[in-house]
Structure 1
Amino acid sequence: MDPVLAFDTAAAHCAAALLCGDRIVAIRHEPMAKGQAERLLPLLEELLAEAGIGWRDLAALGVGIGPGNFTGIRISVAAARGIALARGIPAMGVSGLEAQVYGTGRAALASLDARRDAAYVQAFDAMGQPLAPPDMGDPATLALPDLPAPPLCLGPAAAALALRTGGTSGTPATPQAEAIARIAAARAQPALPPPIPLYIRPADAAPAKPAPALLRPR
């Protein structure tokens, strides 16, 4: 059944999902402004226990790489790197913007809160493929790529983006952690490079360290 464990702490939450075959067997989303570093590993162990499997049974990991909170991204990416190294399995990084449009089946504009009256925004086609790299700025004035059709606009900037493009506001078709798990499962292959954080805000643009602190699952 090739279990895939996915998790994300890039925003004010600790979210995780366990995919076995084509079925989500456990999923959690816990809002929290801080404490993700202490909560993440126990949460993952709870999901595995709920499904009746252990760390050794995992085939792959999926991890949210941002954009979002600088510290939160580093927590989940470092955890994914450590677990993947300890268990000898691949870890796939998935952006929160890509996860947001998973399963929509139409051209979409995804957005995430960047604070300071700004948003992270990225355009995708109906197959979920990016039309341009993610950008950050005022959603009312941020440059947008040409879109093949009026888009489905998602996230906190959905209303502003829909007004600009003639699109419609909506909600994601799939919970974020589940979307990360399904995207990761489709991409899993041996010998992948480790996931790296996706930083867009200039102040967050420090390169990832090649050897982060490792969380070693029991």
Structure 2
Amino acid sequence: MLSGDRILAEAHEDMAKGQAERLIPLIEDTLAAGGACPGDLTAIGVGIGPGNFTGIRISVSAARGLALALGIPAVGVSRLDALALDAPRPTLACIDARRDSVYLQRFGDEADRGPAWVPLAEVMEWAMPDLTVTGHKDAEIAEWLGVRHTPPAASPAPAIARLAARRHQAPGLPRPAPLYIRPADAAPSRERGPVILPA
């Protein structure tokens, strides 16, 4: 939770499952730790991915529902944007996408590229002069590219909050939507759905 430029409270829990049941109580606990209630909020920032498909859907749905109920804007912020917060430009933000691949986005004047899902074997194609790498595998990727690396300026929740605070008054702000860069690992069912009979 952000007030001005000060983080009043933050929380992080790694969960393999149960996110839907835990999210609202975690929000309530974090607000209480910061001495606030939902009515005190002026905007809601939410991470839109890339990442776990189910987790992204849950968080974006919750943020949109809360924002609608409170009559305030919800601001979607990508994890790649959050990693690149206040990093020197040009910056290459990296997130581990598993299966020998990463999500990449490059930020900077005339250097913008992505976001994209990139096999590790193709990361060299993202090199450029004076680049700084940040995020997952930053030291490894920076060594491959022959450039410097730096840790993110903030952990994910505070970075998302700071970017949302900068953007929430922008005209025509779109509603948050999941940022899916690659297809889901789960394959759709091959079984036919139920047939609805006429009454």
Structure 2 length as normaliser, TM-score? 0.84
User: Among residues 153, 158, 162, which one is paired with 2:133 in the alignment?
Assistant: 153
Aligned to 1:180: 160
Distance 1:183 1:138, change over 3 A: same
Could you give the per-residue CA deviations for residues 107-159 of structure 1, whole angstroms, max 9, x where no partner exists? 2211112121111111112x8x971121112223146456351x222233324
User: Among residues 68, 81, 85, which one is paired with 2:68 in the alignment?
Assistant: 85
Could you give the per-residue CA deviations for residues 70-120 of structure 1, whole angstroms, max 9, x where no partner exists? 101101000011001111100110000110111223322111121211111
- Cα distance in structure 2, aligned partners of 1:55 and 1:130: 39
- Name the stretch that deviates more: 47-56 or 103-112: 103-112
Which secondary structure state, in structure 2, belongs to the residue aligned with residue 172 of structure 1?
A: coil
1:195 equivalent in alignment to 2:176: yes
Aligned to 1:214: none
- Cα distance in structure 2, aligned partners of 1:86 and 1:50: 22
Unaligned runs of 5+ in 1: 1-17, 205-218
Unaligned runs of 5+ in 2: 186-199
- Cα distance in structure 2, aligned partners of 1:37 and 1:107: 37
Q: Decide which structure has the larger Cα Rg and report it.
A: 2
Which secondary structure state, in structure 2, belongs to the residue aligned with residue 109 of structure 1?
A: strand
CA contact (8 A) 2:49 2:78 kept: yes
Could you give the per-residue CA deviations for residues 17-38 of structure 1, whole angstroms, max 9, x where no partner exists? x001111000112222222111
CA contact (8 A) 2:106 2:112 kept: yes
- Cα distance in structure 1, aligned partners of 2:67 and 2:129: 38
Aligned to 2:148: 168
- Cα distance in structure 2, aligned partners of 1:116 and 1:167: 24
1:135 equivalent in alignment to 2:95: no
- Cα distance in structure 2, aligned partners of 1:191 and 1:136: 28
Structure 1 length as normaliser, TM-score? 0.77
Listed as ranges, the matches of 1:11-90 within 5 Å are 18-90=1-73
CA contact (8 A) 1:56 1:87 kept: yes
- Cα distance in structure 1, aligned partners of 2:7 and 2:129: 32
CA contact (8 A) 1:140 1:164 kept: no
- RMSD over aligned Cα, in angstroms? 2.1
Aligned to 2:194: none
TM superposition shift of 1:163: 2.7
- Cα distance in structure 2, aligned partners of 1:35 and 1:135: 28
User: Among residues 103, 107, 114, which one is paired with 2:97 in the alignment?
Assistant: 114
